[in-house]
């Protein structure tokens, strides 16, 4: 627990939008920024548990910061941060796909959105406890390595068929236009 407290303290010492806002609120109210941050986290958690629009809030949490961090990763010269966020987006996409098919069932579970938010935060955690990294290497990568050749073959066949259909439609369209021009 002390490790978590130390990370929380280090986070509050960084300079970013959240910590600057907390510093400004601390100056105006006289309430320590640690209590303000803990109170905000508590209110956010309670809203996820009982509030209307918890789905939107949960999706914002799962999208907004990772999108920001992904843009920063793209702009940085390092490749490691790119891999971290690409891995997150693969897990996020598969989770979203699974959620689409099970949403009616899952939404009946109490505190579903709090659990979903906790899962997405787990997938964002930096360092060795990064959930996206663990899920990717333990589940997604082995499935990918096992089936990627078959999927590549199917995609290649489908793209060839799509190109053939597009060429046929284009050819038929040109012939129709030529015929219409001759009729006039």
Look-up of token digits 């190109």: 163
pLDDT for res 138: 96
Q: What one-character-per-residue DSSP string does 31-76 give?
A: --HHHHHHHHHHHHHHHHHH-TTHHHHHHHHHHHHHHHHHHHHHHS
* Positions of the chain with pLDDT lower than 70, given as ranges: 1-4, 107, 184
pLDDT digits (tens, 9 = 90+) for 83-97: 999 999 999 999 999
pLDDT for res 184: 64
Whole-model pTM over 0.85: no
User: Minimal CA–CA distance to 87: which of 121, 134, 148, 144?
Assistant: 134
pLDDT for res 2: 67
């Amino acid at each position: 627990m002390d490790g978590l407290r130390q990370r929380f303290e280090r986070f509050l010492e960084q300079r970013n939008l959240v910590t600057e806002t907390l510093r400004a609120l601390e100056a105006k109210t006289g309430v320590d920024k640690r209590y303000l941050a803990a109170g905000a986290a508590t209110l956010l958690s309670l809203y996820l548990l009982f509030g209307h629009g918890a789905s939107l809030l949960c999706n914002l949490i799962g999208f907004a910061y990772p999108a920001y961090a992904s843009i920063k990763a793209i702009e940085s010269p390092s490749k490691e941060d790119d891999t971290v966020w690409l891995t997150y987006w693969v897990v996020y996409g598969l989770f979203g796909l699974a959620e689409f098919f099970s949403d009616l069932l899952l939404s009946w579970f109490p505190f579903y959105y709090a659990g979903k938010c906790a899962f997405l935060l787990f997938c964002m955690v930096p360092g060795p406890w990064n959930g996206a990294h663990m899920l990717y290497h333990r589940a997604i990568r082995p499935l990918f390595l096992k089936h990627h050749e078959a999927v590549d073959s199917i995609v290649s066949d489908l793209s060839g068929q799509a190109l053939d259909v597009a060429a046929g439609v284009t050819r038929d369209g040109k012939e129709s236009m030529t015929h219409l021009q001759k009729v006039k």
